[in-house]
Structure 1
Amino acid sequence: MPPEPLTRERILEATEEVLRRHGQAKATVVDVARALGVSHGSVYRHFPTKAALREAVTGRWLERTTARLEELAQDAEGPAADRLSDWLETLFTAKRHKAGDDPELFATYMVLTAETARIVDAHVAELVGQLARIIADGVVQNAFTAIAGRDAEATARAVFDATARFHDPRHAGEWHHAEIGEEFAAVRDLILRGLCAPAQSATPWPNSSAE
């Protein structure tokens, strides 16, 4: 039986296993090649540098989060409020599973993402873009109120930033707390109420110093 062809996907799968076994500090291209039963030169034909390989495996890890989220973003016929709620919960659930199911690999990727800002920025831009589509659909459906002076992308960025505690890996230490689910639901519901609220003319804040 002929050997299985060496593909980018096989290399990335082997790289992830090597990272899980050795950690990012000790994992080498030679380790990856050995796991595949090929020479390290064969790996370099697909990824010219170790940095390129690390970027690719980090991008692959991040992309696993986006598939289901993209389905929700594309469903233009579905109620926008339900899609936004599901999108936020799906993102939070995916991040919690990554941190809790494989903590060693999660810790390794925390280091790798810090080294690959370009990949992370592209990932965040994709997520914000998905949110923007849902919010824009909600305005078209009259489910969401457009915010004066702020387009769908700016609103999406605000929603993304407001929920950072529930998807930014820097907060992963909080995700195992018993009350985190309720706290997530409170923030999600607050965001939905804000987007669904009817537009009102601006009124001044009460003057606390007034008698």
Structure 2
Amino acid sequence: MSTEPLTAERILEATEEVLRRYGPAKATVVDVARVLGVSHGSVYRHFRTKAALREAVTKRWLSPTEAALARVISDSGREPGAAKLRAWLLTLFDAKRLKAGDDPELFATFCALSQESSDVVDAHLTELTRQLTRIIEEGVREGEFAAPDPREAAGAVFAATARFHDPAYAPEWRKSTIDAEFDAVAALLLRGLRA
């Protein structure tokens, strides 16, 4: 038995390890407890169900991307509008590409978990669209963008760039032409938004 206090964070770290090792179909709460040196009941005291544990792991996986994107928005040194929007889109693409390339097994696992954790994924997508809306609203206020409905424009930008952030397209992110393709799509979207 472990003498280290059992925390939600330790459980989530162990769950990632178990998911990486066994995959989402075979990973169990008992496996997580075994890695931690505790009973599975101890894990359930922090996460009431296996589904709750998987949702928490999915949220933990998505949160750093949200935080990195929020930093792009709050960067007071960056001009509003086009520069900020392009930086935000590139940060999102780079974050997803990095996750897919650094740990492909865990990336595949989280893609599977995302299908189960639809509320967590929906909240993530809502947050990303909210951030995009904020950038476009700022660009409209500064007179750089012409978007009668910034929220609608944000949804369109997000959909138009899906190839660069939707995990379904991850195999394409290794193509030698992907950066040029990203640049072309971003330039087209920015031209379309300009006042």
Pick the TM interval, shorter chain. Answer: over 0.9
Q: Deviation digits for residues 133-168 of structure 1, max 9, x if unmatched?
A: 011011111111123xxx211110100000000000
CA RMSD of aligned residues (A): 1.4
Unaligned 5+ residue runs, structure 2?
none
The CA distance in 2 between the partners of 1:110 and 1:158, in whole Å, is 23
Counterpart position of 2:130: 129
How does 1:74-113 map onto structure 2 within 5 Å?
74-75=74-75, 78-80=78-80, 81-113=82-114
Aligned-pair distance for 1:65? 1.0
1:76 positional shift: 6.1
Between the aligned partners of 2:109 and 2:46, the Cα distance in structure 1 is 22
Runs of 4+ in 1 over 6 A off after TM superposition: none
Deviation at 1:77, TM superposition (A): 6.9
Give the structure with the higher percent helix: 2
Q: Which amino acid aligns with 1:183?
A: E
**Which residue is 1:10 aligned to?**
10
Question: What is the TM-score when the length of structure 1 is the normalising length?
Answer: 0.88
Shift of 1:92: 0.3
Matches within 5 A, 1:1-211: 3-75=3-75, 78-80=78-80, 81-147=82-148, 151-196=149-194, 198=195
Q: TM-score, normalised by structure 2?
A: 0.95
Moved more, 158-167 or 114-123: 114-123
- Quote the sequence identity (%): 63
AA matched with 2:61: W
Deviation at 1:73, TM superposition (A): 2.1
Q: How far apart, in 2, do the equivalents of 1:68 and 1:53 lie?
A: 24
How many pairs are equivalent? 193
> Quick one: which amino acid aligns to residue 189 of structure 1?
A
Larger radius of gyration: 1
- Cα distance in 1 for partners of 2:151, 2:76 equals 16
CA distance in structure 1 between the aligned counterparts of 2:39 and 2:107, rounded to whole angstroms: 28
Partner of 1:206: none
Structure 1: unaligned runs, 5 residues or longer = 199-211
